Structure 1
Amino acid sequence: MRSWKRNKLFVAISLVSLVVGIACTTLLMAFVIHEYNVENYNPNKNRILRLVQTLPFAQQVVEGTFIYGGTVPQIVSQFPEIESYLRTQTFKDVRVKIEEQEFQSWSLVAADSTLTAFFPFHNIVGDVQDALLKPGDIAVSELFAKKCFGTTDCIGKNVDILLSEIGIRRIVAVFGQPEQSMMHTDILLPLEATESSDCMLLLKEGTNIKKFRQRFGETELPTLLGNGHLRTQTLQESYFDATVKDSNQVIKHQQSTLLGVGLLSALLILFIGCFNFINLSFSRLLRQVHMLHIESIMGATRSQMRQQLFLDTFLMVLVAFLLSLLLMNDLLPAFNHMVSVKLTMEYLFSWQVFPLILLFIIILSVIPASYMGHRLHSISETNYRHFFTGRKKRFIVALLVTIQFIISIGLMSTFMIIRSQMYLIKQEEKHYENIINVYTDANAQLALKNRVDEVKNIEGVEAAIT
């Protein structure tokens, strides 16, 4: 503490550097771990497969998850390895009305009663399973309940869902979102129509998934364009596949390259913080050499001096870590918004992330302290002046600063490129905001062409083509 008091500027700059480095590195690493371990708390994640088929889209042939719900029982019946299946219809930006007050931007999922076997929703009040069995009942998320009713005690309340053929429904359960889940929804209700849906399969325990997927892909099955072949994806494959057109609007996807950039950025930011700490350490080496020589003359042993150096470094890192927790708590909402993720402080202290934080503290404490304890004990003031105040010191400092600037410029350039690409993607999406694609089988193409002129006369339609 006396040493810190004598070197206030060093301590202040070192703490700021370490706090920012630890906070940014921890958040980025937590983001990478969170996204890579998607569905980590789902006990059946390794037995779930999503169906994918070839679809016509905007005069192109693409792969999509759209499955005609009526064909699913026929598909499943041919494979005894399948334990259950799940069909879903999803809607985003749904409006609801409660006692003449309207609430917007909610997501809705209509699903088979098997939903809870695929995604483990946490029951807060009531049971989600009850909402999936009886038409007219719904389950709502904790966020929905608190925003619309101010409390989770809303069982029996009516909600008017402003979608055709849904209308007024009664709340029978309030649920919490599954942790690290691909699916995030606000309203759950039973699936009543089977015309269009996303489909997942749950395989029986002990099934050889590799052999099943191969046999499934080789079997001729009902598809949108007649008999053909369907493909399957695991949940993790689906999560990191942005090329497939997903008909499930509440299923989230992630770019694997973004995780790579996040991991690289985390390491580079940590290196910058370490470089700053090393550069600043040069400024007080002479004082430490004097201190160690005086302590040695006064009878201090080598182990005692190493212990002192370790505690000095460890306390610096520990204080920086504690301060970084405050910074992370303040940055978390902005960080979640920036990368579209839902990290919490509880997650940062989970077994997935916290051991990594402890590893950071050990690396930042043990390695510098061990080196300094070994090096400083044997160095004389003459050696210090020869090595640390001459050309070698200037070369080392210049090298560290140069590397630091290169990393900083690289990080800023990468960030600007990512931001510009995201802006271009959003601008491109706007071109398709008001376009509706109508699909039909080959036999109905002629009838569809005859109705184009009729569609053009509908109010709100600017143009129609086939």
Structure 2
Amino acid sequence: MFRNYIKTAFRSLKKNKGFTFINVFGLALGLAVCLLIVFYVVDELGYDRYNTKADRIYRLNNDIKFGGHEDSYAVIPAPTAAALVSEFPEVENAARFRQTGSFRVKKGSQNIQEDKVTFADPAIFNIFTLPFVDGSATDALKAPHTAVINETLAKKYFGRTDVVGKTLVLNDTENYKITGVIKDIPRQSHFRFDLFLSMETLAESKQTTWLSNNFQTYMLLKPGANIKTVESKFSDLINRHSSAELQQFLHMSMSDLEKQGNYFRFSVTPLTDIHLKSNRVAEMGENGNIQYVYIFSAIAIFILFIACVNFMNLSTARSANRAREVGVRKVLGSARKDLVFQFLTESILITLVATLIAAVAAWLSLPLFNQMAGKEMSITLKALTWLLPTLIFIVVFVGCLAGSYPAFFLSGFQPIAVLKGKLSGGFKNGNLRSALVIFQFFISIFLIIGTLAIYNQLKYIQNKDLGFNREQVLVIKHAWILGNQTETFKQEIKQLPGVTNASLTGYTPTGGNRNSSTIYTSPVFDLKNALNGQVWTVDADYLPTMGMHLAAGRNFSKEMATDSTSLILNESAIKLLNGKSNLNQFLYKPLDDQMKKIGKYKIIGIVKDFNFNSLRENVTPLILTYGKDQGALNVRVSTKDVKGVLAQIERKWKELSPNQSFSFSFMDQDFDAIYRSEQRVGSICVAFTTFAIIIACLGLFGLAAYAAEQRNKEIGIRKVLGAGVTSIVTMLSKDFIKLVFIAILLAAPLAWWFMQRFFLESYAYRQNIQWWVVVVAASGAVLIAFVTISFQSIKAALINPVKSLRSE
């Protein structure tokens, strides 16, 4: 019996080649897109799950409101880890990471810059799954000046992995003994360091202050421990350990601080949530966004529905063609269940072919999709363990879903009505079919508006006046490598043709170097006098090099010795100081951890606000101090021959330090990198929206063909009576276009609300959806639908009426 179902289904599909092609191609395209999205979602959700104890690992965070400013940090005070282990019976272990920047590693006569470096406690090997290929966790990182490296770094510097006992020379003078070699950390990890240095080496790690936050801290709970119980103890932990410092430095208790609306609060983030659900200050890498996972998952479901709707529409539209077949089968004794099985078999057969084509197409498209999404996904043996069951499920589920309505609809025909010719399968009588067409274009228009909103916001970001000029600025990294020759290097670069100016500092609007600190309006350090914000050390060339503008006052000057105790504040900082000019006002800053030494500084200038964070955030208070910082040399170039200037700069670098690596970036590229995830999402949405429209048009194309076929005699009569091609095309198109307009009316307001609420509102600076976006989306949908329908309509209108009427 089942073999007969297959044979009959195959014959029916072969007989209707056009119908079969449209369904197979539409389903294959929809399923291929869905599979690519499934790969993306599985990859995003898989971060950090390689850790065998992942369900018990949590990172501690610090949420702070102080001095008129709120911040959410992924770092906490140095002594917290030890306190957790000693005071919390639920905590099995805790460990810290601390990044202090790049290190130069000696290889022969060369110094190679390594950026993926961190200081770490030895307990990281008991918390995270970091398998050793040489050495063991027993001795790793316990002694000062010891290191653990990964396989890649071991091969890079020694040509092999059995290098325990060897020495790495860092920054020319620091010797670190290798105590272990670990496997490369999996790509799906929120941190991916190559070199771990012992925390015992770092003097900062022994700090006892609870008012300084610099250490990423992770804790491993004991099996069965409740994280809620641990969280409930955080408030008491902070109060007990920070009260004395608050009294000493700010002359108040924690309760007094909280009464004034300020707070220090610890929270936790589960390890497996960090990548998608955390976007705090001092994250250890570029995290993803759970919103994109939700959006792409919804798009996958919608596209799959569109493909299924095509199948249902085309199957019911051609019901008139198969109605007599159903009638004859029923007269000959076929039960309804047999007919249901027959039609479901056809549906599943189409889905099986489409799924096989989709799997191959997704596999071939994966490299291109990786490039668009910034991923390194591949189909591995491990992936096949979930991919094959998924494909089988898709065949059965989609086959039954897409074929269910046609199966029950066609099998329900009454043989008497069918054989008398009373059953009409015309387009106008298909209310469900019309609803499904509306649904298809509802999704398509929704995606068009969403994509245009994303594109519009990205364009707004690119063109917004940020308060500085990022064009033609070359950032030469790690200028501190040159030591006491750094200033000489700067002056020589400034003399090069094509160089307008140069500033020596690691604090740039598009860089990652930040320094949050508190400054006071009175020498009596009180919360009422506190101003919390970024404090950057810059030179006198900083403002002109960055293209920033003063709102009042003057710039720093090398000629004025008193500028070493002068400040320039941004407008946001001034607003917190009662919003007045405040020029020549004095501010005070502690110069040591005990706040016994006090520095007195005078405000000499006010710089206009410039964006130094993502445009998702408002500009926050910023204080510029005059001093020496050798983090980077920022060079403004005013020539089209940028490559020539870059070559001259590199030559100067090599003259001063021939053994040191030369690395650089352009500030506009650094800016674009901040919004790389949004740009990728925009590109992917454009591609997915295009596919959704193509699939919807395939269905519309098929429906138009069947509508024209069912009305061919009517068209012939109209032509005999004098109807022109235009009137016939209008007659055949208007019902479909009407449905597209209904879809526009439903989709436009919902898409506008959704993008405003869930995308644009996450930006402090945004371009709201303009009226033209809706008009363009609506016009595009109508035009696409009309072109699709017109092809079949014109074809039907041009047929000789003799061919359609000769049988009458």
Which TM-score bucket, shorter chain as reference? 0.7 to 0.9
Which residue is equivalent to 1:140? 150
Cα distance change on mapping 1:165 and 1:249 into 2, 3 Å? farther
Deviation at 1:448, TM superposition (A): 8.6
Which residue is equivalent to 1:253? 287
Deviations 1:388-436, CA, capped at 9 Å, x for gaps = 125213x554443332122112113223433554566688797712584
2:74–2:280 Cα contact (<8 Å) kept:
yes
SS in structure 2 at match of 1:261: helix
1:159–1:170 Cα contact (<8 Å) kept:
yes
Which residue is equivalent to 2:760? none
Match of 2:119 among 110, 127, 130: 110
2: CA distance, partners of 1:22 / 1:410: 20
2: CA distance, partners of 1:113 / 1:206: 24
Alignment of 1:203-218 (within 5 A): 203-218=221-236
Deviation at 1:264, TM superposition (A): 1.9
Which residue is equivalent to 1:278? 312
Cα distance change on mapping 1:396 and 1:306 into 2, 3 Å? closer
2: CA distance, partners of 1:337 / 1:217: 46
Q: Structure 1 counterpart of 2:293, which letter?
A: L
**Is 1:16 paired with 2:52?**
no
Deviations 1:42-85, CA, capped at 9 Å, x for gaps = 34333323222256899834121233435642454333332211
1: CA distance, partners of 2:320 / 2:459: 52
Which residue is equivalent to 2:59? 50
Which residue is equivalent to 1:27? 36
Alignment of 1:392-431 (within 5 A): 392-393=429-430, 396-421=432-457
**Is 1:156 paired with 2:163?**
yes
Deviation at 1:112, TM superposition (A): 1.8
2: CA distance, partners of 1:26 / 1:56: 44
Match of 2:130 among 103, 121, 125: 121
SS in structure 1 at match of 2:423: helix
Alignment of 1:211-360 (within 5 A): 211-219=229-237, 220=239, 222=241, 226=245, 229-235=264-270, 236=272, 238-242=274-278, 244-245=280-281, 247-250=282-285, 252-282=286-316, 284-293=318-327, 303-341=337-375, 343-346=377-380, 348-351=383-386, 357-360=391-394
SS in structure 2 at match of 1:139: strand
2: CA distance, partners of 1:202 / 1:293: 69
1: CA distance, partners of 2:317 / 2:113: 58
2: CA distance, partners of 1:155 / 1:67: 36
Alignment of 1:168-207 (within 5 A): 172-178=180-186, 180-191=188-199, 192-193=201-202, 195=204, 196-207=214-225
Cα distance change on mapping 1:387 and 1:154 into 2, 3 Å? farther
Q: Structure 2 counterpart of 1:200, which letter?
A: Y
2: CA distance, partners of 1:404 / 1:457: 58
SS in structure 2 at match of 1:263: helix
2: CA distance, partners of 1:224 / 1:383: 92
The CA RMSD over aligned residues, in Å, is 4.5
1: CA distance, partners of 2:268 / 2:171: 31
Deviations 1:86-125, CA, capped at 9 Å, x for gaps = 11124788887767789888633432222233322355x4
Unmatched segments (≥5 aa) in structure 2: 1-9, 205-213, 247-253, 255-263, 471-507, 519-588, 593-597, 603-623, 636-808
Deviation at 1:128, TM superposition (A): 7.0
2:279–2:287 Cα contact (<8 Å) kept:
no
Deviation at 1:369, TM superposition (A): 3.8
1: CA distance, partners of 2:631 / 2:401: 73
Deviation at 1:385, TM superposition (A): 6.6
Which residue is equivalent to 1:82? 91
Q: Structure 2 counterpart of 1:173, which letter?
A: V
Deviation at 1:269, TM superposition (A): 1.1
2: CA distance, partners of 1:189 / 1:364: 53
Cα distance change on mapping 1:139 and 1:293 into 2, 3 Å? farther
The higher relative CO (CA closer than 8 Å, separation ≥ 6) is in 1
2: CA distance, partners of 1:58 / 1:176: 43
2: CA distance, partners of 1:95 / 1:337: 31
SS in structure 1 at match of 2:628: helix
SS in structure 1 at match of 2:447: helix
Aligned length: 454
Q: TM-score, normalised on structure 1?
A: 0.77
Deviations 1:243-288, CA, capped at 9 Å, x for gaps = 531x2423x5333322332222122111211122223324543444
1:52–1:232 Cα contact (<8 Å) kept:
yes
Deviations 1:136-160, CA, capped at 9 Å, x for gaps = 5433266x789x69x9x54439897
Of 228-237 and 422-431, more deviation after overlay is shown by 422-431
Deviation at 1:378, TM superposition (A): 3.7
SS in structure 1 at match of 2:87: coil
Unmatched segments (≥5 aa) in structure 1: none
Which residue is equivalent to 1:443? 590
1:27–1:328 Cα contact (<8 Å) kept:
yes
Q: Structure 2 counterpart of 1:345, which letter?
A: I
Deviations 1:370-391, CA, capped at 9 Å, x for gaps = 4444332342445887341252
2:61–2:73 Cα contact (<8 Å) kept:
yes
Deviations 1:337-386, CA, capped at 9 Å, x for gaps = 444555442465444x7655544332222244444443323424458873
1:221–1:230 Cα contact (<8 Å) kept:
no
Of 410-419 and 164-173, more deviation after overlay is shown by 164-173
Q: Structure 1 counterpart of 2:232, which letter?
A: Q
Cα distance change on mapping 1:403 and 1:299 into 2, 3 Å? closer
2: CA distance, partners of 1:118 / 1:243: 23
1:49–1:232 Cα contact (<8 Å) kept:
no
Q: Structure 1 counterpart of 2:163, which letter?
A: G
1:91–1:107 Cα contact (<8 Å) kept:
no
1: CA distance, partners of 2:60 / 2:357: 47
SS in structure 1 at match of 2:97: strand
1:223–1:230 Cα contact (<8 Å) kept:
no
Deviations 1:9-51, CA, capped at 9 Å, x for gaps = 2222212211121122233345445545654443433332322
1: CA distance, partners of 2:333 / 2:95: 75
Deviation at 1:210, TM superposition (A): 0.8
Cα distance change on mapping 1:46 and 1:216 into 2, 3 Å? farther
**Is 1:391 paired with 2:398?**
no
1: CA distance, partners of 2:461 / 2:172: 31
2: CA distance, partners of 1:337 / 1:145: 29
SS in structure 2 at match of 1:388: coil
Cα distance change on mapping 1:242 and 1:21 into 2, 3 Å? same
Cα distance change on mapping 1:398 and 1:373 into 2, 3 Å? closer
2: CA distance, partners of 1:280 / 1:91: 63
Percent of aligned pairs with the same residue? 22
1:97–1:160 Cα contact (<8 Å) kept:
yes
1: CA distance, partners of 2:27 / 2:363: 16
1:51–1:199 Cα contact (<8 Å) kept:
yes
